[in-house]
Structure 1
Amino acid sequence: MSPTVQQMREGQLALEAPLFSGLPGDIEVSFEFFPPKTEKMGETLWQSVETLKPLGPRFASVTYGAGGTTRERTHQQVVRIQNEAGIPAAAHLTCVGASREEVDEVASHYWAEGIRHIVALRGDAPDGSGKYTPHPGGYGNAVELIAGLKQVADFEISVAAYPEVHPDSPDAQADIDNLKAKFDAGATRAITQFFFNTRCFFDFRDRAAAAGIKGEIVPGIMPVISFAAVQRMSGLCGTAIPGWMEGLFEGLDERPEARQLVSATIAAELCRRLYAGGVRQFHFYTLNRAELSYAICHMLGMRPKGDAA
């Protein structure tokens, strides 16, 4: 069945039946966490890992603070996720605040610990607001970092992609060119910045294919835990917030359970539209909270696998 016919069939099903009825669960998912700052946050993180583990994720990644500020905590969680939870783990690495030798040493340490997957990112200025400046003697950008990591070991490498243009890019074509350079340097897949407009993702995917990019481009999904927080993050990364979204979250600041239901509905509908367009891989920015991501995966037809079923 051709992709166009499949999309038409999916569209017809969506009109004739409940939006999520009958989905076979033929998707693959991955989850992103951040290293906890306190013991209590560590407990929340691990509860989230345990909740999502039965879904059989392809991998779970752990973020890395600017300038290496969370280096040890990232390392601890990555190793624990892989060794204790049995989920293939991916460690984020950036170019910020470290020489090439220091980055290579961190990567070598991960390889020695059995970590075979790196999320390679240029990174942003440590203060979150200034202009990015390469570290003297460090990797200048993600393309250089990928090439360097491949010299250290044969890592699987995921990279970032920006359907709505990276804030530092001069234009959309420069973003596509940079993404192709990342794949040419050895990247395995690209994970997009979060977005709320499916058309921008499909347009980006089409432009990437036209540029000769053959690797996976996986949509990054951000369930809205706090609308104010999403507004702040969107301002930093250039993601457009639809005009209708603020109205849906209005009045829910003091009603977290209701807000969670609204958030799950919005994100699940986004994923359903992506699914209708042929997407079968999703990456969830969990913010260390599992229930929203679990609910969305369930609505997309996923069920616990193996012994967890």
Structure 2
Amino acid sequence: MNLTVKQLSEARRALDEPLFADLAGDVDVSFEFFPPKTDRMGETLWSSIRTLEPLSPRFVSVTYGAGGTTRERTHATVRRIVEETGLDAAAHLTCVGASRAELETILRDYWDAGVRHIVALRGDPQGQGERYASHPDGYSSAADLVAGIAAVRPFEISVAAYPETHPEAHSAKTDLDNLRRKLDAGATRAITQFFFSADTFFRFRDAAAAAGIDAEIVPGILPVSNVAQTRKFAHMCGAQIPPWMDRLFEGLDDNPAARQLVAATVTAELCRKLYAGGAREFHFYTLNRAELSYAICHLLGIRPRLGEQKRAA
């Protein structure tokens, strides 16, 4: 891990002083949501958006289901964010189940609706256990999709990165090569899949730099509110849940309040270590809940702007 003198000083401060004492709030955050399936889930989502909006995130993103299964709900959610909030909304877009012509139409519709940011992903196979296959008239990879998006309109484009290597990659090197292709095709930044050790991110950041990748790499943060669900997510994206973390949540299945406090503590500590190592951007996978992400942002020194706070109230 290559740390500057300033970062080493910050690491020393993290050891010598209260971890979250008087942090400057000099970080940028973004939040990820998924489109709701029911009216009740929609109420939870919009309550979370309104709670997090006063923190002035640089953008919020809305996910896209495997095989495009949530396509219309994603579009509707993104449009509503654009129309009813002051937030910069980023729409997820995948290669799965759509032709180039279909995706071009979607992109033009997004642009006309005021969307200027796309999170470009290859996407997961349409059926569980199946191998990925591109649409006969579609894009074969995320890098191709990025190039296609850039050809339609000058969108800001974010792509995915995998600190613990994509499950389908032949090696960490080929995975980094693929990331470079996505960035060379026109992507602005990479957002990582979640991870649970700061060293995992630092090693990946250093490896990317050594491979000549100088684009912004944003750590993706998943506050663990449901261990079983997190274990499922981790299996899908190749992330490792440390044994100590599994043990930490033992016995809390029927105690959601205690589980939430433990989750906040674990995630806040991870973010503080990342901050000590120089990270100043964080992307939170909220799972449509605001409490944990809001609390961690508060610990990092982020406060609502006065005008935003009044509007949210």
Matched, 1:102 2:124: no
The alpha-carbon deviation at position 305 of structure 1 amounts to 1.6
Query: 1 CA distance for matches of 2:247 and 2:303?
Result: 32
The residue identity in structure 2 corresponding to 1:249 is F
The alpha-carbon deviation at position 14 of structure 1 amounts to 1.4
In the alignment, is the contact (CA less than 8 A) between 1:66 and 1:97 conserved in 2? no
1:77-99 Cα shifts (integer Å, max 9, x gaps): 11111221110000000000111
Matched, 1:260 2:247: no
TM-score by length of structure 1 reads 0.98
SS at match of 2:4: helix
Question: Where does residue 10 of structure 1 map in the other structure?
Answer: 10
My pick for the range that moved more, 111-120 or 80-89, is: 80-89
Question: Where does residue 212 of structure 2 map in the other structure?
Answer: 212
Q: Which 4+ stretches in 1 moved above 4 angstroms? A: none
In the alignment, is the contact (CA less than 8 A) between 1:149 and 1:155 conserved in 2? yes
Question: Where does residue 225 of structure 1 map in the other structure?
Answer: 225
My pick for the range that moved more, 197-206 or 29-38, is: 197-206
Question: Where does residue 176 of structure 2 map in the other structure?
Answer: 176
Question: Where does residue 126 of structure 1 map in the other structure?
Answer: 126
| Equivalences for residues 29-178 of structure 1 within 5 A | 29-178=29-178
1:185-217 Cα shifts (integer Å, max 9, x gaps): 000000000001111211111111122212110
In the alignment, is the contact (CA less than 8 A) between 1:31 and 1:61 conserved in 2? yes
The residue identity in structure 1 corresponding to 2:133 is T
1:57-91 Cα shifts (integer Å, max 9, x gaps): 00000001122211111011111112211100000
SS at match of 1:193: strand
TM-score by length of structure 2 reads 0.96
The residue identity in structure 2 corresponding to 1:234 is A
Query: 1 CA distance for matches of 2:190 and 2:15?
Result: 31
Query: 2 CA distance for matches of 1:213 and 1:11?
Result: 25
Question: Where does residue 307 of structure 1 map in the other structure?
Answer: 307
My pick for the range that moved more, 26-35 or 299-308, is: 299-308
My pick for the range that moved more, 87-96 or 11-20, is: 11-20
SS at match of 1:246: helix
The residue identity in structure 2 corresponding to 1:137 is D
In the alignment, is the contact (CA less than 8 A) between 1:27 and 1:280 conserved in 2? yes
The residue identity in structure 2 corresponding to 1:48 is S
Question: Where does residue 22 of structure 1 map in the other structure?
Answer: 22
The alpha-carbon deviation at position 306 of structure 1 amounts to 3.9
The residue identity in structure 2 corresponding to 1:207 is A
1:217-268 Cα shifts (integer Å, max 9, x gaps): 0000000010011111111111011110111111111111111110011001
My pick for the range that moved more, 37-46 or 228-237, is: 228-237
SS at match of 1:108: helix
The residue identity in structure 2 corresponding to 1:155 is F
Question: Where does residue 237 of structure 1 map in the other structure?
Answer: 237
The residue identity in structure 1 corresponding to 2:70 is T
SS at match of 2:31: strand
Question: Where does residue 272 of structure 1 map in the other structure?
Answer: 272
My pick for the range that moved more, 39-48 or 231-240, is: 231-240
Question: Where does residue 290 of structure 1 map in the other structure?
Answer: 290
SS at match of 1:307: helix
The alpha-carbon deviation at position 128 of structure 1 amounts to 3.5
The alpha-carbon deviation at position 3 of structure 1 amounts to 5.3
Give the percent of matched residue pairs that are identical in Structure 1 and Structure 2. 63
Number of equivalent positions: 308
The residue identity in structure 1 corresponding to 2:245 is M
SS at match of 1:19: coil
Query: 1 CA distance for matches of 2:212 and 2:69?
Result: 37
Gapped runs of 5+ residues in structure 2? none
